[in-house]
């Protein structure tokens, strides 16, 4: 495998010098941000490996449609399965000789009362949003380090910065994505690998059709009128979409911008939120100042360069 990869890296490097095109792996491409990103990246001529589950079942039509787009290959990958993710990325590296970009986008929304989530519900939430991202990162990083370049983009949320009530478990998973991405950003940047976070606000995508709530319904009655708030949040979000009309393509465009930006110049965080994004931007700027002070205090100031 090592010899194959080394030979492939030489071929990949030659191709890059001639075309500047990248090999891009994207999860959760059957809808929403993933679907739009796959199309947007492929339109620039990059080689896209678009992943989704159940390509012969419920996602068959989506897989066929996406697979008919030039520069896109659809892979059936379960992001919650180590073997599925590792085999997919290893297969890409063996075929292409390299992997340049990983976009960890797969996920679902979780709302409702936090106490209604069982331990299993929480484990599932973290597996899909956090551990799944780590699976693809772990599989791709050795090759990216060997190449001396690579880009990992993790899709977080404004709710990875502020934990809104009645979305608590979802928020907690996105907070974990932020923590994973921020620390890794500084660890691997000296090796030529960039780690970046996209923080979208609320957009009218299929994610809200995949909303899950806690499975312990017995606790709901004990919350009285508070149990009705999640439904009101949904109504308010619908009104927001009508008023602001946020376009999900903005997120795909932000991902493309990161891919097109030279290595070492990519920001750690990119907020994409036409409705309430200034809230997150302000927090990011304030925290960055103190974070830099923290790294400097512990003798890691060279990592800030």
Cα separation, 147 vs 149, whole angstroms: 5
Cα separation, 157 vs 171, whole angstroms: 8
Q: List residues bridging with 49 in a β-sheet.
A: 25, 73
Structure tokens at 48: 């896209």
Smallest CA-to-CA distance from 109 within 237, 243, 269 is with 237
Instruction: Tell me which residue has tokens 């892979």.
Output: 75
Cα separation, 213 vs 231, whole angstroms: 12
Smallest CA-to-CA distance from 52 within 69, 71, 67 is with 67
Cα separation, 222 vs 18, whole angstroms: 65
Catalytic residues: 170
Cα separation, 116 vs 62, whole angstroms: 33
Residue 289's contacts (CB-CB under 8 Å, 6 or more residues apart) are: none
Structure tokens at 37: 């990103």
Give 153's Cβ-side CA count (13 Å radius). 32
Burial 22-52 (b: 16+ CB within 10 A, else e): bbbbbbbbbbbbbbbbbbbbbeeebbbbbbb
C-alpha to C-alpha distances, 121 to 160, 173, 259, nearest whole angstrom: 19, 12, 34
């Amino acid at each position: 495998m090592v010899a194959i990869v080394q030979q492939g890296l030489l071929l990949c490097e030659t191709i890059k010098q001639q075309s500047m095109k990248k090999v891009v792996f994207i999860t959760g491409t059957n809808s929403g941000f993933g679907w739009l990103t796959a199309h947007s990246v492929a339109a620039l001529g990059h080689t896209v490996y678009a992943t989704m589950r159940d390509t012969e079942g419920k996602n068959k039509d989506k897989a066929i449609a996406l697979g008919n787009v030039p520069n896109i290959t659809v892979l059936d990958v379960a992001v919650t399965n180590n073997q599925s993710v590792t085999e997919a990325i290893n297969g890409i590296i063996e075929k292409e000789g390299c992997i340049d970009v990983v976009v960890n986008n797969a996920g679902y929304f979780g709302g409702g009362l936090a106490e209604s989530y069982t331990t299993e519900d929480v484990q599932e939430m973290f597996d899909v949003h956090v551990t799944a991202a780590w699976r693809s990162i772990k599989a791709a990083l050795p090759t990216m380090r060997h190449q001396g370049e690579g880009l990992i983009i993790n899709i977080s949320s404004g709710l990875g910065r502020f934990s809104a009530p009645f979305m608590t478990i979802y928020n907690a998973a996105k907070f974990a994505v932020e923590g994973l991405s921020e620390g890794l950003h500084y660890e691997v940047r000296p090796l030529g690998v960039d780690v970046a976070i996209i923080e979208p606000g609320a957009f009218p995508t299929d994610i809200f059709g995949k909303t899950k709530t806690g499975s312990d319904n017995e606790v709901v009655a004990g919350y009285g009128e508070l149990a009705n708030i999640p439904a009101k949040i949904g109504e308010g979000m619908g009104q927001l979409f009508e008023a602001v009309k946020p376009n999900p393509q903005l997120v795909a465009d932000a991902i493309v911008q990161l891919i097109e930006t030279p290595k070492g110049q990519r920001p750690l965080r990119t907020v994409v939120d036409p409705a309430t994004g200034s809230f997150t931007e302000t927090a990011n700027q304030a925290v960055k100042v103190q974070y830099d002070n923290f790294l400097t205090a512990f003798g890691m100031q060279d990592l800030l360069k």
